[in-house]
Amino acid sequence: MVVALLVALARNVRNPALYPLKLLATLYTDLVRGVPVVLWIYLIGFGVPGLLQSREWSKPIIWATVALVLAYSAYVAEVFRSGIESIHESQRAAARSLGLSNGQTMRHVVLPQAMRRVVPPFMNDMVSLQKDVALVSFIGPVEALRQAQITKSLENNFTSYVVAAILFLCVSIPLTRITDHLLQRERIRMSGTNIA
């Protein structure tokens, strides 16, 4: 979230002097989103340890985590950016008329409103991230899907895949319900009524 928010803020800078930062953030999101997540996992999970030649930094779980963070921060940055850009320009003008600086306007006026608007797509990305953790098994670490494959090959029984699916559902369904709850709460807050 932190990386994504920083990238989104960099993409939203309006100061011409900061254009290189905006360009760098745009290139980052375009490059990372243009390559499949599984390829990033392979490139970073095998490539970086191969370059480092260091045993303590060659653990696949570390680099798989880095790959997922880099990949999903680009997607979430676009979600945050869309939320920031959805705030009407009159909000910024009102903040400026109160004497707030650009930074204060972003922090106290724009971001609080934008964050409420991006809850559904953000939670959707979190559910996708939770499912894409299964891709980590391609570079070695044993997680639910990989363990199911091992169990299936040993026992010739596909029940382990059902158990893995249930584990993923145990995480994704609560995340979805939390999203629905937050949306309902925001809808009630915006309507000014307590009718569900």
pLDDT digits (tens, 9 = 90+) for 100-143: 988 899 999 999 999 888 888 888 888 888 878 777 776 766 66
More confident: 94 or 48 = 94
User: How many whole angstroms separate alpha carbon 84 and alpha carbon 66?
Assistant: 26
In this predicted structure, the answer to whether residue 188 has a pLDDT above a threshold of 90 is no
Q: Which domains does the chain have, with CATH numbers?
A: 2-120 (1.10.3720.10), 142-196 (no CATH)
Q: What is the pLDDT of residue 191?
A: 74
Please name the residue ranges forming H helices in the chain. 2-11, 19-34, 37-52, 60-85, 89-97, 102-105, 111-117, 119-132, 144-155, 159-191
Q: What is the pLDDT of residue 194?
A: 55
Average pLDDT over residues 147-176: 81
The average pLDDT across 155-163 equals: 82
At residue 74, the pLDDT reads 94
- Flag whether pLDDT at 11 surpasses 90: yes
How many C-beta atoms lie closer than 10 Å to residue 101's C-beta?
10
Q: Is the pLDDT of residue 12 over 80?
A: yes
Q: How far is 128 from 82, CA to CA, in rounded Å?
A: 19
Amino acid at 43: L
Q: Which residue has the higher pLDDT, 144 or 155?
A: 155
Distance CA 187, CA 127 (A): 22
Average pLDDT, the chain: 84
- pLDDT reported for residue 105: 92
For residue 193, what pLDDT is reported?
58
Q: Which of 71, 68, 110 is nearest to 90 (CA)?
A: 110
Q: Which amino acid is at 167?
A: L
pLDDT tens figures, 43-92: 888 788 777 776 677 777 788 889 999 999 999 999 999 999 999 999 99
pLDDT for res 141: 63
| Average of per-residue pLDDT across 151-161 | 81
- Which pLDDT score, from 0 to 100, does residue 140 have? 63
